Amino acid sequence: MGAFRIGIIGVGFISTYKHLPGLAGNPELAELVAICDLLPERAEAAKEKYAPSAYTTTDWHDLVNDPSIDVIYVCTWNVSHCEITCAALEAGKHVMCEKPMAISGEEARQMAETARRTGKTLTIGYQNRLRTDTQFLRGVVDAGELGDIYVAKAHAVRRRGVPTWGVFTDKEKQGGGPLIDIGTHALDLTLWYLGDYEVESVTGSVYSKLRDKPQGNPGGEWDPATFSVEDSAFGYVKLKNGATIFLEAAWALNVKDPREAAVTLIGTDGGAEIERSASGGYAVTLNKVLADRMITEAPDESAPDADDFTHLGTRETKQFLEAVRDGHDALVLPEQAAVVTEVLEAIYASAASGRTIQF
């Protein structure tokens, strides 16, 4: 079988730094033939750099209705993920949809059901599962080294890291702020390690305390007048098996040590933490008792390749398109991603109502 014919919808930040390089890094699997963006000049720039023979358009329907396209990448505003993904699946395309899966549990379930009904592969862009450190910790968990994991923490906190480009701070287009943007990665990792997606209840708190304090942001000051999302959010999630997850997500929080796309796992036989390493990447520490003494171990940080967006995008595209080619599940299942979206939605709902949301 030759390379899949790929169409990409939306060529903003995540496409530029992850998906386009990822497709280019897998020439035996992917041929980029169509590029769509609301800004024609942005689509043309992507074409010139990555696929001179591709066609460009501002209308995503052109790609969905193109019978020659096998796979579509959906990298648009969060609010449009469901509509475009479902239309592509119905048209017989396999779909890589960027995170978050959708802005509501209802939309996420609709996407998963459409994939099941059409028999097409749908996956979501949770590339952090493919990092060197997260894969190592996956092996530790699978080997039973931590025992029964009954408490976990999902970390997605920046001290000052509000994205001032695109539409990140526009609730109408994105559905939320740091919770739905970076909190989704930390929660996905945590549920993946626990291997249990049966949620019992969710309690949440959402804050907009620093909206009018744009000073000190490395990406430049944001406009408080257009900042319509939260700046931090926190969730307490109980699973039906009794396990507890604490989720923290913030673009701007006055803390000394920010942690993003990281987890803490606490089990009966040991614990594990993912933190930033001295080199700026990620490092895993294992905490346990050995010979009646408490010890903390850290594996060798050296890795065969980097964990930046380009490398992760290449790995993500490879595993997804190989799953399509070989007829097996992709690493990220739509049913898993739908639960992540349901929990995020419940945190917002709990914060708004002041009540615990029962599943």
**Which pLDDT score, from 0 to 100, does residue 301 have?**
62
pLDDT tens-digit map of 19-67: 999 999 999 999 999 999 999 999 999 999 999 999 999 999 999 999 9
Cα 32 to chain centroid distance, Å, stands at 23
The stretches of the chain forming alpha helices (DSSP H) are 13-14, 20-24, 40-50, 60-64, 81-90, 105-118, 132-142, 171-174, 178, 184-194, 309-326, 334-353
Structural domains of the chain sorted by starting position, each given as residue range(s) with its CATH number in brackets: 4-125+318-331 (3.40.50.720), 129-309+340-358 (3.30.360.10)
Tokens of 27: 């020439």
Nearest to 7 by CA among 49, 61, 45: 61
**Which pLDDT score, from 0 to 100, does residue 299 have?**
76
The stretches of 197-280 forming alpha helices (DSSP H) are none
Tokens of 59: 């209308």
**Which pLDDT score, from 0 to 100, does residue 307 have?**
77
pLDDT tens-digit map of 118-159: 999 999 999 999 999 999 999 999 999 999 999 999 999 999
Indicate the burial class of 305 (C-beta count within 10 angstroms; 0-12, 13-18, 19 or more). Answer: exposed
Segments of the chain scoring below 70 in pLDDT? 1, 278-279, 300-306
Specify the pTM: 0.95
**Which pLDDT score, from 0 to 100, does residue 276 have?**
78
**Which pLDDT score, from 0 to 100, does residue 306 have?**
65
**Which pLDDT score, from 0 to 100, does residue 208 have?**
95
Distances (CA, A) of 51 to 11, 276, 285: 13, 36, 42
**Which pLDDT score, from 0 to 100, does residue 300 have?**
66
Task: Count CB atoms within 10 A of the CB of residue 1.
Answer: 7
Torsion of CA 290, 295, 299, 301, to 10 degrees: 180
